[in-house]
Chain A
Amino acid sequence: MTEQFWPMAYAERDPDIVLVKAMAAGEATAIESLYQRHGPALFAYLVGQLGDRQWAEDVLQEVMLAAWRSAARFRGESTVRTWLLAIARYRALNARQRRPPPPDALPPDLPTDDPKPHQKLEHDAQRDEIARALQQLPAAQRETLELIFFHGLSGPEAAQVQKVAIGTIKSRLHRAKAALRHLLSKEEEDA
């Protein structure tokens, strides 16, 4: 029954699909492998959505459990990466509805105070400027930028995750670019 949803040529090419099939068959090692492949990107996405690393860690575990339980229903109509991001997005929205962010949480999408390699680079000041400018964008635009430029989703895939029309993705990109250009030039003028 499930077989009809798995285009074989696609499955043979894509190791993710093989892993999800194995998860659907109950192989626990498959979820470990999938976690190693996609966990870092999902974690970064969830930290951005929730603004708190510990919270993001908890929700990431929920995402993986939800992926395990939904594996048999994965139809191969999207990539596994898109599917996992969609689950992560749903879980993050649910988590935010269940409880407000902890008082010491960072605003979503701001880098943490932990020392990061990028903070050791020469362009710290410029990065902070960019981080501030990105933070001023509407959340939906920031998320679109992240899905496209960090997670490497195509337009239709980003539309699938954010559940908006492809035209909305394109207009968000253009608006975000224009807004960033404006915000950064304003910061330069102020400086």
Chain B
Amino acid sequence: MHERWDDQLPFYVTGALPPATHAAVAQHLRECVACAAQVAEWQQLAAWHQSHVAGRMGALPPLSPLVRASLHRPPTLRELLASTLQLVWAQRNVLRPLLPGIVGVLLVGLAASLGLMNAERVALPLVALVPIVAALPIAFLHSRELEPAFEIVSATPSAPGALLLARLTFVLTLVSSVTLPGSFAVSAAQGSSFGPLVAAWLGPLLLLSALATVLALRWRSGVAVGVVLAGWLGVIGLLWLELNGYPLLALPLHALLQPHAWLFLSQLLAAGLLWWLAWRELPHLSTERVY
């Protein structure tokens, strides 16, 4: 019975409860000795803590002349660059628990591509793994459910758009920094062209990342993860069947493995369109949803 009130008591002591809840707790305290004793403990703790912190209070330093001088000065290019890089770099804290998994899956994809004897299918492991490995963290990053990992980024007084771009930049840079040199190694070892190999995973990577962002912002992270994962597994499954002589669609999905310029450009355009939709969504979002 006390559990219902237990969590409210510290906030009752500080007066931070909504008036109706405060009144309900006060009413309960008239009848409940155990909760009244809890309140006395919280009051003691509050008094201790107030005097402890008050010990740090000194004379407030004046607002610095440097701050006053900076008020009407726009940030310099260096300051802007530094804060942008700092924001991008701060994303590693959010992704830290996922980093070994991301890099591990990318290395598995590269190793599989290196091991394939079939030159036509050399891009298959990268096409299957790289886009989803980028899109899933992006979907997760737009969630508050990863709260403990938001230790640093969360309190950034940044525009939601800047935060989104920082997250995208960090994930894409991370994925590309592993996959680009890996693709170079694969193309050198297999004798295949480097450009088409990169285009094979880069186009779907951008498209799927943009889709994950829109879904996570419009609905929620779980929806984005589910749709992106199911959708991409479906595409890869159909591609696998097609490559093994069981085409279920009229569309030639094997074009994904060696994309022509038009296919790559259309993937870029679709990704751009989705990003534009995500950008339009931002003003309607609560900051809570983005942070």
Residues of A bordering B, CB below 8 Å: 1, 4, 26, 28, 31-32, 35-36, 39-40, 43-44, 47-48, 53, 57, 60-61, 64-70, 73, 75, 77, 83, 86-87, 89-90, 93-94, 109, 111-112, 114, 116-119, 127, 130-131, 134, 145-146, 148-150, 152-155, 157, 160-161, 163-165, 168, 170, 173-174, 176-177, 180-181
Tell which of B47-55, B187-195, B212-220, B264-272 binds the partner: B47-55
Cα A1 to Cα B198 in complex, Å, equals 41
A149 touches B46 (CB 8 A): yes
B49 touches A145 (CB 8 A): yes
Residue in A86, A117, A155 whose CB lies within 8 Å of B11:
A155
Q: Which residue of B lies closest to A180 (CB)?
A: B45
B155 touches A90 (CB 8 A): yes
Cα A69 to Cα B70 in complex, Å, equals 10
Beyond A163-B151, A168-B147, whether A69 also contacts B75 by CB under 8 A is yes
B14 proximal to A (CB < 8 A) = yes
Cα A116 to Cα B71 in complex, Å, equals 34
Question: How far does the Cβ of B69 sit from chain A's closest Cβ, in whole Å?
Answer: 10
Given contacts A69-B157, A70-B157, A148-B16, 17 further A-B contacts (CB under 8 A): A36-B60, A39-B63, A44-B53, A44-B56, A68-B67, A69-B75, A70-B158, A75-B287, A111-B55, A112-B55, A134-B52, A149-B10, A150-B54, A153-B16, A155-B7, A173-B10, A177-B45
Beyond A43-B57, A164-B148, whether A77 also contacts B287 by CB under 8 A is yes
**How large, as a class, is the contact surface on chain B?**
35 or more
Residues of B bordering A, CB below 8 Å: 6-7, 10-11, 13-17, 41-42, 45-46, 48-58, 60-61, 63-64, 66-68, 70-72, 75, 86, 147-148, 150-152, 154-159, 283, 286-288, 291
Residue in B55, B72, B286 whose CB lies within 8 Å of A28:
B72
Question: How far does the Cβ of A2 sit from chain B's closest Cβ, in whole Å?
Answer: 10
Cα A65 to Cα B52 in complex, Å, equals 28
In the complex, chain B residues whose CB is within 8 Å of the CB of A94: 86, 152
B53 touches A146 (CB 8 A): yes
Beyond A77-B288, A130-B48, whether A163 also contacts B150 by CB under 8 A is yes
Cα A43 to Cα B63 in complex, Å, equals 12
B157 touches A43 (CB 8 A): no
A163 touches B155 (CB 8 A): yes
CB-defined A-B contacts under 8 Å, sample of 23: A4-B283, A40-B57, A61-B67, A69-B157, A70-B158, A86-B154, A86-B157, A90-B152, A90-B155, A90-B157, A94-B86, A111-B55, A116-B55, A134-B52, A145-B45, A149-B45, A150-B50, A152-B15, A165-B147, A168-B148, A176-B45, A180-B45, A181-B41
A152 touches B151 (CB 8 A): no
Beyond A90-B157, A93-B152, A161-B155, whether A150 also contacts B58 by CB under 8 A is no
Cα A112 to Cα B42 in complex, Å, equals 25
Residue in B17, B57, B58, B155 whose CB lies within 8 Å of A86:
B155
Question: How far does the Cβ of A39 sit from chain B's closest Cβ, in whole Å?
Answer: 5
Question: How far does the Cβ of A22 sit from chain B's closest Cβ, in whole Å?
Answer: 12
Beyond A154-B16, A163-B151, A163-B291, whether A60 also contacts B61 by CB under 8 A is yes
Beyond A43-B61, A61-B63, whether A148 also contacts B48 by CB under 8 A is no
Beyond A61-B63, A150-B49, whether A44 also contacts B57 by CB under 8 A is yes
B55 touches A118 (CB 8 A): yes
In the complex, chain A residues whose CB is within 8 Å of the CB of B48: 130, 134, 180
